[in-house]
Structure 1
Amino acid sequence: MARIAGSTSAALLLTLFMGGSAMARDQIRLSSDWGDVTAELADNAAARALVAMLPVTIEMDDHLRQEKTGDLPTALPEAPRQRAFTVGMLGLWSTSDFVIYYRNGKVPPPGIVVLGQVTGDVSIFDRPGKVRVTVDAAR
């Protein structure tokens, strides 16, 4: 693959990877006592349903020193799943288990629904313990 320079080209590749065209995507903000980050959402039914329930506050636990995970108030619809995850990916394990990945890795079948990608420094979540995260529309 040819090397692509500049943040615009990198953003275009990320957009295409997450499901389609280079049109603008919805963005959300994840706020906690540990800091705030923004994320660009994937183009799928689960991500659209997440936007419809915002704002939402999620009590999140650390899981396997690779992710923060917590229950959404209601289930999201199914969407295509994959097994690999990358730093900053937002995912859905079960239909209501919201996940923020701060390391790379793989999950067992059936895999995760990709909800989006953090565009800020996701390392704020790379620490043991619980955290309360509020998810709302980015401004």
Structure 2
Amino acid sequence: MPLQTIRIAGAIFLGTIGAAMAQERIKISSEWGSVTAEVVDNAATKALLDMLPLTIPMTDHLRQEKTGSLPAGLPPAARKRAFKNGTIGLWGPDHFVVYYRDGQVPEPGIIILGEVKGGASIFDRAGSVAVRIERED
């Protein structure tokens, strides 16, 4: 195998390990408990991380999600229509969402910010709740 090919393969491998080790996590906590989410790498998530820590009052919407407003809008990023239990996302520029059921949203979809590991079923109850979002150490 030529030396150049080995160098390229090694760089790709090390780049993959570096990306995995650099995975950002946030903690979302409330009086109902706390969960950890791994965030995706996009402009909206980077802007969210710069806002942390923050507390958001959230309300139940359609018995599938908790929603609340961020103090400022986040930059646009790619959108998806499907979500699952544990998806955290952005509906409008400042509309933070934690989904505790699977489903789909209408066009234009949501900006995916990350995923709660193990699901977000702690939020599957009627009523409002204040959540605190912070970087996980």
Range into which the TM-score falls when normalised by the shorter chain: 0.7 to 0.9
C-alpha distance in 2 between matches for 1:138 and 1:38: 8
Residue matched to 1:86: 84
Which segment is superposed worse, 121-130 or 68-77? 121-130
Runs of 4+ in 1 over 2 A off after TM superposition: 21-24
Whether 2:103 is the aligned partner of 1:73: answer no
Residue matched to 2:94: 96
Contact 1:67 1:100 (C-alpha < 8 Å) held by counterparts: yes
C-alpha distance in 1 between matches for 2:96 and 2:122: 17
Residue matched to 1:129: 127
Amino acid at match of 2:102: N
Query: Aligned with 2:77: secondary structure?
Result: coil
What RMSD in Å do the two structures reach over aligned CA positions?
1.4
Residue matched to 2:113: 115
Determine what percentage of the aligned residue pairs are the same residue: 58
C-alpha distance in 1 between matches for 2:55 and 2:119: 20
Structure 1 residue 121 displacement after superposition:
4.4
Residue matched to 1:24: 22
- Mark the runs of 5 or more structure 1 residues left unpaired by the alignment: 1-20
Contact 2:85 2:119 (C-alpha < 8 Å) held by counterparts: no
Task: Give the alignment's TM-score, normalised by structure 2.
Answer: 0.84
Task: Give the alignment's TM-score, normalised by structure 1.
Answer: 0.83
Contact 1:39 1:120 (C-alpha < 8 Å) held by counterparts: no
Residue matched to 1:8: none
Aligned length: 120
Amino acid at match of 1:36: S
Residue matched to 1:51: 49
Contact 2:100 2:119 (C-alpha < 8 Å) held by counterparts: no
Describe the superposition over 1:55-91 as per-residue Cα deviations: whole angstroms up to 9, x where unpaired: 0100000000000000000000000001000110000
Query: Aligned with 1:47: secondary structure?
Result: helix
Query: Aligned with 1:51: secondary structure?
Result: helix
C-alpha distance in 2 between matches for 1:96 and 1:49: 11
Contact 1:39 1:116 (C-alpha < 8 Å) held by counterparts: yes
